[in-house]
Structure 1
Amino acid sequence: MRADAARRRQRIVHEARRIFAAHGGAVALETIAEASGVGIATFYRNFESRAALADEVALSILSDIQEAAAKALAGIHDSPAGAWESYVKRLVTMDLGALTEALSGFVRDEMSAQLRDAQATTLIRVDQLLAAAHDAGLVRRDISALELIIAIGMITRPLPDMLHAAAPDLREKLVEVFIRGVRPGT
């Protein structure tokens, strides 16, 4: 793939991820194409269907989770609490709850091999970080990578505007409760 075509495809995925998080998975593909600065024909040359785009967005999310885990793992020996808390907070910024909800309509009975492999690699990397966080006394042993990611997804599910307005700092408070709640002895 040419460099400009790869950048264009990445821009479409980036915009789709942003728009799916903000507006859900049913948003018009034309909206994503327009936000990406491409026409709908170019969009369909890159993604033959909404499901194909959803798969690519999922791969992008998994890649970001892996990268964040690798960065935290690299820093956990120098600053265990800082690396762990930064990782959890980085997951929160990924809008996992909103994206999971947006992409859930595209889940098929059989995942593509590429998506299945990326998911497995992600869970391994996060488990490695969890083991290091446990060794540093920051996380109980009974927390799995999948449970961590699901918990962050639950914390980051979008609230109706009325509830968000009533409790605008709730997400941050829940993240702090989560970080304290996974410590050994809690």
Structure 2
Amino acid sequence: MAGVAPVRRVSRPRADAVRNRERIVTAAREMFVESGAQVPLDEIARRAGVGNATLYRNFPERDDLVREVVLSLTARITERAVEATEQESDPFEAVRRFTHAAADERVGALCPMLDGDFDKNHPDLLAERSRLEEAVQELVERAQTAGRMRADVGAGDLMIAVSQLTRPLPGTACPSMDRFVHRHLQVLLDGLEAPARSELPGSAATLEGLRRESGCTS
């Protein structure tokens, strides 16, 4: 019909291209956690089972890949918080479940990756960080409102503790520390449960305050 603009067809990436990209991100996330964000890219390609050309076609610069891994890891930690909130009837058990799950996702690997030169204010990163902060804040507030978690701690305190207890990363000075992570997290969680047995010095750490000081959510 005259005067009607032709319909533009938006090409969608092929399924194998999507799978390759996902494999690269998964391999990079594993290797960054194991050895840090400076691991050789050809080793990431090898673990992902793709050629170097495929890796560079998806991620022309290392910072592009690091940003995607930070996004992926942050999203996975956020989902663990949402799952804990939705599936645990006891608010403190939700905190407990999330804490152990975040350790399994190696939340402590986030801050070293954020030391890179990539744009930390990328809209996708800001949006995912906001989702994580909201999910963790809800977990903590629900537990405190129910009287199950001590009131003198903040969501920032929880994230700092989990981050610290999931370091050092494997491949550094103390790789055997991994076997103690969940044991020590349980000691931490016993200290977070109400009623409190002592008065904490200083003030509670907030996620907003952490972000202002370091640019890191963990």
The Cα shift of 1:153 comes to 1.0
User: Which structure 1 residue ranges, 5 or more long, are not aligned?
Assistant: none
Partner of 1:14: 26
Give the CA RMSD over aligned residues.
2.3
Aligned to 1:177: 187
Asked if 2 retains the 8 angstrom alpha-carbon contact of 1:73 and 1:129, the reply is yes
Counterparts of 1:1-186 in structure 2, within 5 Å, are: 1-77=13-89, 79-101=90-112, 103-108=113-118, 110-158=120-168, 163=174, 165=176, 169-184=179-194, 185-186=196-197
1:25-55 Cα distance to aligned partner (Å, 9 max, x none): 1110000011111111110111111111111
Is the CA contact (8 Å cut-off) linking 1:97 and 1:156 kept in structure 2? yes
5+ residue gaps in structure 2? Answer: 1-12, 198-218
Q: 3-state SS of the aligned residue for 1:106? A: coil
Question: What TM-score does the superposition give when structure 1 sets the normalisation length?
Answer: 0.86
Answer yes or no: is the 8 Å Cα contact 1:76–1:84 preserved in 2: no
| Amino-acid identity (%) | 33
Distance 1:168 1:152, change over 3 A: closer
The change in CA–CA distance for 1:15 and 1:69 in structure 2 (over 3 A counts) is same
Write 1 or 2 for the structure with the bigger share of helix: 1
Corresponding pairs, count:
183
TM-score by length of 2: 0.74
Larger Rg: 2
Q: Work out whether residues 64 and 118 of structure 2, in 8 Å CA contact, stay in contact via their aligned partners in 1.
A: no
Partner deviation per Cα, 1:63-96 (whole Å, 9 max, x = no partner) = 111111111111232x444333221110110112
